[in-house]
Amino acid sequence: MSAGLTKLVWTTNFDALTADACAKVYDSTGPLTTVALDAPTLATEAVNAQRWPIEIKLHGDFRSRRLKNTSDELRLQDTRLRQILVSSCQRWGLIIAGYSGRDGSVMDALADVLNQSNPYPSGLFWLHRGDDPPLPRVRTLLQLAADRNVDGGLVRVENFDEAMRDLVRIIPTLNTVVLDSFGAERRRWSAAPRAGGTKGFPVIRLNALPIVIAPTVCRRLVCKIGGHSETLEAVRVAGADILVARARAGVLAFGSDNDVRATFEQFGITEFDLHSIEARRLRYDSAERGLLREAMSRALAREHRLDLTRRRRNDFLAPSDPDAPSWAPLKKLVGVLAGAVAGHPELTWREGLGVRLDWADERLWLLIDARTVFEGITNENKSAATDFSRERTVRRYNQQLNELISFWAGILAGDGRELRALGANSGVDAVFRLGADTAFSRRIRA
């Protein structure tokens, strides 16, 4: 969110993106004034003194000891920073970009501006990607602004970079030498065009679903516990419904704060705060990525009535009740969904799915693989399970595999609703949202 072009930036993110941009433009972060929850009075002083550019982090900085991200914390957002936000929106306009409008405290502040004198004198513009409508609170805010004769409204954009470039073009007095040099260095690429006509688009379909929303923070605590195995054992002994990983920074966790504290208090907790899940830590098999993988599998199992089986580094999902009517389309594709392997009554199977996380094209993906999920595997019957699985899947050619991917993509992504790993009412839960369009999908009928 920006008040005035490159003048005052309000952000709900924890990262250093704005600072990195300033360092790129000015060769230093010296000109930038950053305000977090630690020193809200600094915001008033910087704005009044017009020490541009200014960045105000409404939810704190990941390097700060004061962060806001749980539901209770968001509702009790620092009132002083919100008052400054309301005041600044009576002096300048506001451009909102890359923000969904989910935080009640921030949306309340933006709506409160409309109850003041001289709201958004230079307009209120909400940049929105895609064809889907914005959230109801956003639509309500923009309608109230229109009723108050505030200039602006919803502006549909392709992406932030192009929108900012368009703004630059309509400001003839702006020195664009630095921006032009950046543009010359950047690679240009475009997404594959949408298919037209009645023929399928000749692109290989991949079994990767885009993760549209993933957790950006988790709980972090420091205590005198050993490594990963000791951490998992502590959770098992406590019987707590929490997800944990051991990292150099401490124990990372999702779940109720009470459960997390009760599990590890015997090990002497010395720090208890939030940990930023940085994108660079998701590019490889880090503790953060392992924690997200476990949380994603739990969320899918919880939201879609699937049983989760974890074997070493593999996660498998299978219908809890294969006879439920919701699995009829899957039965139509592959036949019987469950049974026992002939000659091995102790070895049972269900039609299911293997899932894992991967990083590609600078983003996180969920890889899905239609699998036969077994229970009761032993060293004695392992070869029988392998033979049975091969015989069951060897004749699944392109068309059937394509239909299977479509089925599972539709089930897992659903209507785009949030997938919650634990459903925790307090603390930090892991919340995901999946896109239903697999990577480079070909269209069967346009």
Say what the pLDDT of residue 191 is.
Answer: 52
Give the DSSP H or E segment for 387: helix 382-393
What percent of the chain lies above the pLDDT cut of 70? 87
- Cα separation values, 281 from 227, 289, 371, 411, Å: 19, 7, 29, 29
Say what the pLDDT of residue 68 is.
Answer: 52
What percent of the chain lies above the pLDDT cut of 90? 53
The tens digit of pLDDT for each residue in 49-105 reads 888 888 888 876 655 545 555 544 444 446 788 888 999 999 999 999 988 888 888
The tens digit of pLDDT for each residue in 389-399 reads 989 988 888 88
Is 0.75 surpassed by the pTM of this model?
no
Say what the pLDDT of residue 14 is.
Answer: 72
Confidence of residue 176 (pLDDT cuts 50, 70, 90): confident
Confidence of residue 4 (pLDDT cuts 50, 70, 90): very low
Contact predicate 295/245, CB 8 Å: no
Compute the C-alpha angle 159/163/165, nearest 5°.
120
Q: If you average pLDDT over residues 104-122, what whole number do you get?
A: 92
Contact predicate 113/89, CB 8 Å: yes
Comparing 308 with 157, the larger pLDDT belongs to 308
Q: If you average pLDDT over residues 131-145, what whole number do you get?
A: 90
Contact predicate 266/402, CB 8 Å: no
Say what the pLDDT of residue 73 is.
Answer: 47
Mean pLDDT, the chain, whole residue set: 85
Say what the pLDDT of residue 77 is.
Answer: 45
Report how far residue 292's alpha carbon sits from residue 430's, in angstroms, rounded to the nearest whole number.
8
Say what the pLDDT of residue 48 is.
Answer: 85
3-class DSSP state of 64: coil
Say what the pLDDT of residue 445 is.
Answer: 46
Own/partner pairs, 129-137, CB within 8 angstroms, 24+ separation = 129/156, 129/157, 129/158, 129/159, 130/156, 131/156, 134/100, 134/101, 135/100, 135/101, 135/102, 137/101, 137/107
Report how far residue 316's alpha carbon sits from residue 299's, in angstroms, rounded to the nearest whole number.
13
pLDDT at 441 over 60: no
Report how far residue 72's alpha carbon sits from residue 371's, in angstroms, rounded to the nearest whole number.
41
The Cβ of residue 85 has, within 10 Å, a number of other Cβ atoms equal to: 23
Report how far residue 74's alpha carbon sits from residue 156's, in angstroms, rounded to the nearest whole number.
28
pLDDT at 411 over 80: yes
pLDDT at 190 over 80: no
Report how far residue 189's alpha carbon sits from residue 388's, in angstroms, rounded to the nearest whole number.
45
Q: If you average pLDDT over residues 172-187, what whole number do you get?
A: 68
Extract the tokens encoding 67: 């962060």
Report how far residue 322's alpha carbon sits from residue 334's, in angstroms, rounded to the nearest whole number.
12
Measured on CA atoms in the order 193, 194, 197, 198, is the torsion positive or negative?
positive
Contact predicate 330/336, CB 8 Å: no
Q: How many residues does the structure list for the chain? A: 446
The mean-pLDDT minimum among 142-156, 190-204, 424-438 falls in 190-204
The tens digit of pLDDT for each residue in 148-170 reads 999 999 998 887 777 877 777 77
Comparing 440 with 378, the larger pLDDT belongs to 378
Report how far residue 53's alpha carbon sits from residue 254's, in angstroms, rounded to the nearest whole number.
36
Extract the tokens encoding 23: 């360092």
Cβ neighbours of residue 197 closer than 8 Å, sequence gap 6 or more: 446
- Cα separation values, 439 from 8, 207, 343, 363, 366, Å: 37, 7, 41, 12, 10
Extract the tokens encoding 237: 């002994």
Q: If you average pLDDT over residues 280-287, what whole number do you get?
A: 90
